[in-house]
Structure 1
Amino acid sequence: MTDAARDLASFLTASPSPYHAVAEAVRRLSAAGFTEQREDEPWADGPGGRYLVRDGTILAWWQPASGPGAPLRIFAAHTDSPGFKVKPNPDVGVAGWRQVGVEVYGGALWNSWLDRDLGLAGRLALYDGRVVPVRVDRPLLRIPQLAIHLDRGVNQGLTLDPQRHLLPIWGLGDPDGGDLVEFLAVRVGEDPEDVAAHDLFTYDLTPPATLGRDDELLAAPRLDNLASVHAGISALLTAVERDPGTVPVFVGFDHEEIGSASATGAAGPLLETVLTRLAGGFDARHAVFARSRCLSVDVTHAAHPNHLDKHDPDHLSVPNRGPSLKVNAVQRYATDAPGAAAWKRTCRTADVPNQVFVSKNTVPCGSTVGPIMATRLGIRTVDVGIPVLSMHSARELCGVHDPGLLARAGVEFLTDAG
């Protein structure tokens, strides 16, 4: 495994929920000398590294000694991944089984979560205003499949009802005696009566691992999109060592997988507020934004060898051949020709191979935070990402070299003042 892939594996293991991903990013930024900028405190104008956290979203930037006016270079990703979120009243069950009520979060591949050992991670919100992180990193839940003897046609077509068929089991007995919240509160040393609400997600407990004859692939959960978050943090920490003539910014948004329309999502005002401050205020920001660029970084589809008919034959993305530029004629990706040229210049300077991904005309693509940021900010935005197989599965697959290549290109993007 490459050093970058090994470090990515550590980041993924530390980040079973958006809140844990943010905490791990803060740990790395703090170790590098970055300090927190709280939203409810005066803005720190002096030079140096800063980070700002709101729930599952994190922004980090390097403020130059020269003050406002330098062009902004923004590396944007997202911290959330598809899966299952625990319902407010979680304790359910039938026929002597204790189960947990969950909602589908994002466009998860439901079948990939069946018969896996699952943990729980997220946060508990207490009546006194405190928010306490929680993580159960042992087998706790399982979504059991129906035996083939009871569904002889399952291999000709699996149909799952998310209300009935995707409820995890977590024990035996009366559901009223399950009390998931009590179990979690005791685990983190809190009185269950003090817990007012929670944000909890299931996660696959299988650790990241290399795969293949030559260990050239990385199998892991949440590559979409923590692979990009990891690359962005790594790129920022390297970029600031160069004392660039830019203001390098990283943002990891929550809620991308469910549309970004939230206070902490890309459609919210948080990034715009911070960038306006960094540009020198509302009156100054137009000129600064005009010289700025955004890199929207989210994984893309690797060419699937068993389903090549789903891909454009002239725009195949293959692992370990570098990140892919993502292009779409109707702006599901925000890339245009000048932005593509800037990205290719970045890769050439960084000596990073790159590819181009375009969806097949009969297979519409998804979207990213890129078009949302471009619309909200008016800053030229380019969409890129490393190729992965099994996107939105509980466990995805990428090349071991691509995380490092993406981070290396990210450094050049953040420091390119041209």
Structure 2
Amino acid sequence: MTEHDFNQQLLAFLDASPTPFHATQKMLEQFLAAGYQSLDERDTWSLQSGGRYVVTRNASSLVAFTLPSDPVVTGFRLMGAHTDSPCLKIKTQPEQVTKGYLRLGVETYGGVLLSTWFDRDLSIAGRVSYQSTAGEIKHQLINFKRPVGVIPNLAIHLNREVNNGVAINAQTQLPVMVMQLGEGEKGSFNEILLQQLQTEGVSDAEQILEHDCILFDTQKAAVVGLQNDFITSARLDNLLSCFIGMQSMLSGGDAVASVLVCNDHEEVGSLSASGAQGPLLKSILKRVAQTEERYQQMIAASMMISCDNAHGIHPNHAALHDDNHAPLLNAGPVIKLNANQRYASNSETSAWFKWVCQQASVPVQSFIMRSDLACGSTIGPITSAELGVRTVDVGVPQFAMHSIRELAGTKDAYHLMKALVYFLQIERI
């Protein structure tokens, strides 16, 4: 696959994945098309040497794995990412009518860069749970696709100090305006969802029981710059890594046992049944190993690369970076390090990743946060602690992390995939 083809497929994946549910569905479809067998956690598994398998939980987290040889002997080559991104989530009973405008109340999910959500063409997507005409409880993904709402900014004439920095109140200033009502009309979000289900071909929905819906920006992902240097899109953090991991699995061959885990809920701490601090990955690996001793042997022989985007040095704010650890866009994937274990990288695992990049002819960089600034974290330390597996935290450098629209380089994701493909071919670590 060429870099151009890779990036075009990446853009399509980003546009098709407005929520963790949609991202997981798209990855599941691609794995199944490549011959992976879907497993249900409720069933008895009969895993075969040479088999390729995929499991989902909550329809928002995914684990894909291959078994070409005995993983107890060779260990697993693990890759991790997360499916969720900071966003605005629509409340269960969101209707607010003011001066004839129907607005939907929202909650902030994760560390949202709130100012970027104003004056955007917003749509709605997510999962709807409903009662069918036959009395069954069913679940359906929906995507309005077209712009259906906006959060209008207040004119500068009414807020003269806005350019000096103004706090944003999530309760009162973020409800999204979706409709202007006639006199005596009452807006109902559940009725809106019922109509959307019908539009998307669901004919048996009788009553909405619950929904898990978010707002998203309808502007398409794009390659930008005079020399096409950059990719700009929503949800680069961290669907970019999910796509890289998926393409690495599909391109990496079957030399050794390999795993891709894409967890939900990283942006809110990972503590959930489908998050990295939950039991999903461990339970699957234990079912592969079958006994506790074999599991411990397998983990000791394994290594994990946790992929989550890194902070590239911002040319307008260069002073906020450590000059010696300030990654550039399009200069290769980044090893993320932190003395206080906010990242799981250590000298052993960092050395391994540098060696992998050298073998794959991929440039590599390092990132350490300024010592006087707080550092973020990833699923790396959580998964490493849960499993006891050697782990390195890496990622593609980007700007505008947690904005409604983020920016990365056109070369870095492809470089990281090449490194991961090589990683999946190493017989002993």
CA distance in 1 between counterparts of 2:92 and 2:110 reads 18
Find the partner of 2:52 among 38, 49, 74. 49
Q: Which residue of 2 aligns with 1:179?
A: 188
Give 1:206-245 correspondences, 5 Å limit: 206-239=219-252, 241=253, 243-244=254-255
Residue 90 in 1 paired to residue 97 in 2? no
Residue 100 in 1 paired to residue 104 in 2? yes
Q: Give how far 1:187 is off.
A: 1.7
Partner amino acid, structure 1, of 2:227:
D
CA distance in 2 between counterparts of 1:313 and 1:21 reads 35
Q: Which residue of 2 aligns with 1:163?
A: 171
CA distance in 2 between counterparts of 1:36 and 1:176 reads 47
Find the partner of 1:81 among 66, 85, 89. 85
Q: Which residue of 2 aligns with 1:356?
A: 366
Q: Give how far 1:54 is off.
A: 0.8
CA distance in 2 between counterparts of 1:417 and 1:38 reads 29
Give 1:6-405 correspondences, 5 Å limit: 6-46=8-48, 47-55=50-58, 56-64=60-68, 66=70, 69-127=73-131, 128-173=136-181, 177-189=186-198, 190=202, 193-239=206-252, 241=253, 243-244=254-255, 246-405=256-415
Identify if the C-alpha distance between structure 1 residues 103 and 188 changes in structure 2 by more than 3 Å, giving closer, same or farther: same
Q: Is the 8 A contact 1:249 1:414 kept in 2?
A: no
Partner amino acid, structure 2, of 1:29:
F
Question: Which digits, 9 at most, give the CA deviation of each residue in 1:23-73, with x for residues without a partner?
Answer: 100111111111101101111311321100112100001122557543111
DSSP-derived class of the 2:424 partner: helix
DSSP-derived class of the 1:188 partner: helix
Greater displacement, 318-327 / 92-101:
92-101
Q: Is the 8 A contact 1:317 1:387 kept in 2?
A: yes
Q: Which runs of 5+ in 1 are unaligned?
A: none
CA distance in 2 between counterparts of 1:44 and 1:90 reads 46
Identify if the C-alpha distance between structure 1 residues 330 and 67 changes in structure 2 by more than 3 Å, giving closer, same or farther: closer
DSSP-derived class of the 1:130 partner: strand
Identify if the C-alpha distance between structure 1 residues 89 and 8 changes in structure 2 by more than 3 Å, giving closer, same or farther: same
Question: Which digits, 9 at most, give the CA deviation of each residue in 1:283-338, with x for residues without a partner?
Answer: 21111111111111000101001111110011111111111000000000000000
DSSP-derived class of the 2:332 partner: coil
Partner amino acid, structure 1, of 2:127:
R
DSSP-derived class of the 2:145 partner: strand
DSSP-derived class of the 2:282 partner: helix
Q: Is the 8 A contact 2:15 2:221 kept in 1?
A: yes
DSSP-derived class of the 1:139 partner: coil
Question: Which digits, 9 at most, give the CA deviation of each residue in 1:355-382, with x for residues without a partner?
Answer: 0000001111100000101111110110
Q: Is the 8 A contact 2:310 2:334 kept in 1?
A: yes
CA distance in 2 between counterparts of 1:280 and 1:325 reads 34
CA distance in 2 between counterparts of 1:265 and 1:186 reads 32
Q: Is the 8 A contact 1:211 1:218 kept in 2?
A: yes
CA distance in 1 between counterparts of 2:121 and 2:23 reads 21
Report percent identity of matched pairs: 38
CA distance in 1 between counterparts of 2:380 and 2:421 reads 19
Question: Which digits, 9 at most, give the CA deviation of each residue in 1:248-268, with x for residues without a partner?
Answer: 100100000000000000000
Q: Give how far 1:414 is off.
A: 2.2
CA distance in 2 between counterparts of 1:319 and 1:85 reads 31
Q: Is the 8 A contact 2:52 2:67 kept in 1?
A: yes
Partner amino acid, structure 1, of 2:103:
Q
Q: What is the root-mean-square deviation in Å for CA atoms of aligned residues?
A: 1.5
CA distance in 1 between counterparts of 2:89 and 2:251 reads 35
CA distance in 2 between counterparts of 1:282 and 1:264 reads 22
CA distance in 1 between counterparts of 2:388 and 2:71 reads 22
Q: Which runs of 5+ in 2 are unaligned?
A: none
Q: Is the 8 A contact 1:76 1:294 kept in 2?
A: yes
Q: Give how far 1:405 is off.
A: 0.7
Partner amino acid, structure 1, of 2:151:
I
DSSP-derived class of the 1:286 partner: helix
Q: Which residue of 1 aligns with 2:426?
A: 416
